[in-house]
């Protein structure tokens, strides 16, 4: 059965508040999860929106701190934190403007913010409050606060303070328990011991107990050996069963229905369809994908260059004649659209692996 009609009761465009978790609940009940795509430009953003439109499925679009800065180019002259703030704001407003035209549901999110990056989130919340008072909607659907490197009490006490602020704005919070390995966007966890990469059920229970009395709208990135990036086969050992153990522990301890928690799968790139499917069965509703979509985008350019190589060495003159112009080949719209189409098709593969289509 097609899953595309399951989400029709929820308004298209940027999704906020309880609607976010309605989307997640429907996804979970139907054993599928949404891709969360890191974007760093209007081009990568358009590729993500196109994928959601083709799949007729909700999408999560997220900005990392570095990706947000990149959105306004390298030479704005702004200090890096201000560039990340400006880029995230303009990127979010861009999504608000176009998501309805694409006729898709977008959950608009920011990726990892450790303690050093909290001023970035503070600034986005300040802008979000302004946006909320003007439009009655939050600027972002959700933010991620990743204090997984810190002791869990400190992690959750800070996350609790943020969840209170997000609740007022009709937003959701993603937290992280246990660390994601590898390196992404300046956050380098490649030195970590393997045991740090596996979350304990007791920690998940503590997070549930602390957060649910503030707001039910939170998701948990629990680590089951996840690593950012793509590595040689055999170097990453995913153990999704950790998620099931956590679900069971929390359900039993607090007398909740089975599979009550909403989990996030970080480092989705390079993961096998089997691991993804197993993780979905244990309550994963969001899978982050960045490295594989970066590669797909590049492959689009590379293939374009291979295919039209004879037309890309000079402005005039190609295999069809020495006076023939090459403008229609080197116009950025053509090769950038090839990059976008390649990224879109990689995301359609993700939608399949996430059991959406
Ligand atoms: Zn991550």
Distance in Å, CA 180 to ligand 1 centroid: 6
Distance in Å, CA 20 to ligand 1 centroid: 20
pLDDT of 192 > 90? The answer is no
Distance in Å, CA 258 to ligand 1 centroid: 26
pLDDT of 190 > 90? The answer is no
Per-residue model confidence (pLDDT) at position 195 = 63
Alpha helices in 169-285 (DSSP H): 201-212, 241-254, 273-281
* pTM, to two decimals: 0.94
What architecture (CATH level 2) is domain 13-353? Alpha-Beta Barrel (3.20)
Distance in Å, CA 242 to ligand 1 centroid: 18
pLDDT of 191 > 70? The answer is no
Which is it for strands 105-110 and 13-14: parallel, antiparallel or unpaired? parallel
Distance in Å, CA 181 to ligand 1 centroid: 9
Per-residue model confidence (pLDDT) at position 266 = 92
pLDDT in tens, 151-182: 999 999 999 999 999 999 999 999 999 877 77
Per-residue model confidence (pLDDT) at position 205 = 97
> Which of 91-100, 268-277, 346-355 comes out lowest in average pLDDT?
268-277
Distance in Å, CA 342 to ligand 1 centroid: 23
Distance in Å, CA 164 to ligand 1 centroid: 23
pLDDT of 345 > 80? The answer is yes
Per-residue model confidence (pLDDT) at position 237 = 81
Per-residue model confidence (pLDDT) at position 270 = 85
CA distance 70 to 48: 17
Distance in Å, CA 289 to ligand 1 centroid: 9
What is the residue extent of each domain of the chain? 13-353
Structural tokens at position 124 = 């986005």
Mean pLDDT of 250-257: 97
Distance in Å, CA 219 to ligand 1 centroid: 13
Which is it for strands 187-188 and 183-184: parallel, antiparallel or unpaired? antiparallel
The contacts of residue 21 (CB under 8 Å, 6+ apart) are: 172, 216, 217, 262
Per-residue model confidence (pLDDT) at position 194 = 62
Structural tokens at position 109 = 């999110």
pLDDT of 228 > 90? The answer is no
Place of tokens 């089951």: 224
Q: Is 111 a catalytic residue?
A: yes
Closest residue by Cα to residue 218 from 150, 149, 144: 144
pLDDT tier at 187, thresholds 50, 70, 90? low
Distance in Å, CA 306 to ligand 1 centroid: 33
pLDDT of 264 > 80? The answer is yes
- Percentage of residues in the chain with pLDDT exceeding 90? 85
Place of tokens 């998620």: 243
Place of tokens 């690593």: 227
Distance in Å, CA 21 to ligand 1 centroid: 20
pLDDT tier at 193, thresholds 50, 70, 90? low
- Percentage of residues in the chain with pLDDT exceeding 70? 95
Task: Return residues with CB closer than 5 A to ligand 1 (ion).
Answer: 180, 266
Biggest distance spanned by C-alpha atoms of the chain: 77
Mapping DSSP to helix (H, G, I), strand (E, B) and coil, where does residue 172 land?
Answer: strand
**How close are the terminal C-alpha atoms of the chain, in Å?**
9
pLDDT tier at 186, thresholds 50, 70, 90? low
Mean pLDDT of 240-264: 96
Per-residue model confidence (pLDDT) at position 196 = 67
CA distance 20 to 108: 10
> Which of 70-74, 195-199, 302-306, 328-332 comes out lowest in average pLDDT?
195-199
CA distance 344 to 331: 20
Contact by Cβ (8 Å): 301, 338? yes
pLDDT in tens, 29-61: 999 999 999 999 999 999 999 999 999 999 999
Mean pLDDT of the chain: 94
Distance in Å, CA 267 to ligand 1 centroid: 6
| Active-site residue (options: 19, 82, 111, 122) | 111
Per-residue model confidence (pLDDT) at position 233 = 66
Mapping DSSP to helix (H, G, I), strand (E, B) and coil, where does residue 236 land?
Answer: coil
CA distance 283 to 174: 14
């Amino acid at each position: 059965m097609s899953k595309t009609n399951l989400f029709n009761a929820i308004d298209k465009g940027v999704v906020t508040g309880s609607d976010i978790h309605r989307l997640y609940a429907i996804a979970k009940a139907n054993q599928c999860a949404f891709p969360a795509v890191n974007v760093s430009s209007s081009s990568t953003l358009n590729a993500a929106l196109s994928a959601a439109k083709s799949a007729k499925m909700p999408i999560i679009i997220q900005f990392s701190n570095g990706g947000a800065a990149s959105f306004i180019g390298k030479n704005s002259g702004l200090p890096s934190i201000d560039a990340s703030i400006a880029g995230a704001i303009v990127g979010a407003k861009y999504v608000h403007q176009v998501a309805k035209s694409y006729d898709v549901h977008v959950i608009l999110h920011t990726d990892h913010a450790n303690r050093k990056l909290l001023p970035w989130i503070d600034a986005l919340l300040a802008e979000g409050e302004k946006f909320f008072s003007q439009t009655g909607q939050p600027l972002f659907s959700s933010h991620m606060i990743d204090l997984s490197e810190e002791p869990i009490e400190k992690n959750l006490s800070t996350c609790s303070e943020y969840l209170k602020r997000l609740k007022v704005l009709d937003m959701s919070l993603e937290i992280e328990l246990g660390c994601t390995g590898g390196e992404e966007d300046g956050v380098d966890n490649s030195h970590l011991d393997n045991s740090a990469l596996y979350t304990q059920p007791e920690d998940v229970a503590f997070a549930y107990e602390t957060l649910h009395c503030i707001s039910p709208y939170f998701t948990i990135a629990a680590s089951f050996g996840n690593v950012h990036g793509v590595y040689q086969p055999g170097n990453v050992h995913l153990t999704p069963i950790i998620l099931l153990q956590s679900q069971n522990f929390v359900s039993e301890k607090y007398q909740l229905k089975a599979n009550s928690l909403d989990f996030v799968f970080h480092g989705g790139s390079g993961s096998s369809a089997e691991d993804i499917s197993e993780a979905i069965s244990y309550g994963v509703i969001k899978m982050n994908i960045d490295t594989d979509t970066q590669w797909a985008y590049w492959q689009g350019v590379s293939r374009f260059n291979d295919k039209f190589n004879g037309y890309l060495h000079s402005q005039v003159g190609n295999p069809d004649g020495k006076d023939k112009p090459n403008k229609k080949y080197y116009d950025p719209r053509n090769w950038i659209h090839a990059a976008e189409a390649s990224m879109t098709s990689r995301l359609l593969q993700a939608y399949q692996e996430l059991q959406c289509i």
